[in-house]
Chains A and B, each alone.
Chain A
Amino acid sequence: DTGVSQNPRHKITKRGQNVTFRCDPISEHNRLYWYRQTLGQGPEFLTYFQNEAQLEKSRLLSDRFSAERPKGSFSTLEIQRTEQGDSAMYLCASRGDRYTDTQYFGPGTRLTVL
């Protein structure tokens, strides 16, 4: 399978716990994006990487959120001290070089905070 993969697919946690999600992009893609999608809404941009550099962060990304992409390969998104409002689908997408405009999405990680 050469598509974007995300793990875990589902995560249930208690409020106040930390969670970490992983995204593995398409192997030759150097750009990686994180989005959050709540029920019935379109995805909202959170952050993106070009190789290992984090180039932009949304104001939606509070200081409880941190994302990394060591060595420009897979990426992790960590949420500390989760709140019920963090419950959402977290989507990862990847894209090739700047002349390739299409983002390819993974299946997402559905987070439920109790």
Chain B
Amino acid sequence: AQTVTQSQPEMSVQEAETVTLSCTYDTSESDYYLFWYKQPPSRQMILVIRQEAYKQQNATENRFSVNFQKAAKSFSLKISDSQLGDAAMYFCAQGTSYDKVIFGPGTSLSVIP
């Protein structure tokens, strides 16, 4: 069975600083994808970044980057130069090409001005 674990229910970061959100997962699939989604309060869930498991190179999207450790089944998200608009729930998720995505319980990120 696929599982996704986020061990940090809440995190906070000073504006302009860097924060890392942790995620571990478990799957028996050999071909899969990993995602970080952002859900601002009362707003729509949006994709932040994605990583194909077969790629060794870590994905980056502007201020967002991941540290993908396949053997350890770890997929952390680093947010650099944090901005007030980064405050949200962040969900780590894992899926395959064929079906559903399994989400973790989320990490609530606060950005302190």
B45, CB-defined interface residue at 8 Å? yes
Q: Please, which residue of chain A has its CB at the minimum distance from the CB of B105?
A: A42
Q: Contacts of A48 on B, CB cut-off 8 Å?
A: 99-100
Contact indicator B45/A105 (Cβ below 8 Å): yes
Contact indicator B97/A99 (Cβ below 8 Å): yes
Q: Contacts of B45 on A, CB cut-off 8 Å?
A: 43, 91, 105
CB distance from B36 to the nearest CB of A (A): 12
Annotate A4-48 by CB proximity to B: 1 below 8 A, 0 otherwise.
000000000000000000000000000001010000111111001
Contact indicator B95/A101 (Cβ below 8 Å): yes
- Range of interface residues on chain B? 20 to 34
Annotate A75-114 by CB proximity to B: 1 below 8 A, 0 otherwise.
0000000000000000101000011011111111000000
Annotate B4-28 by CB proximity to A: 1 below 8 A, 0 otherwise.
1000000000000000000000000
Q: Which residues of B contact A (CB under 8 A)?
A: 4, 33, 35, 37, 43-47, 50, 52, 91, 93, 95, 97-106
Q: Please, which residue of chain B has its CB at the minimum distance from the CB of A3?
A: B44
Chain A residue total in the interface (Cβ 8 A): 23
Q: Contacts of A33 on B, CB cut-off 8 Å?
A: 100-101
Q: Which residues of A contact B (CB under 8 A)?
A: 33, 35, 40-45, 48, 55-56, 91, 93, 98-99, 101-108
Contact indicator A40/B106 (Cβ below 8 Å): yes
Contact indicator A105/B99 (Cβ below 8 Å): no
CB distance from B10 to the nearest CB of A (A): 10
Q: Contacts of B44 on A, CB cut-off 8 Å?
A: 105-108
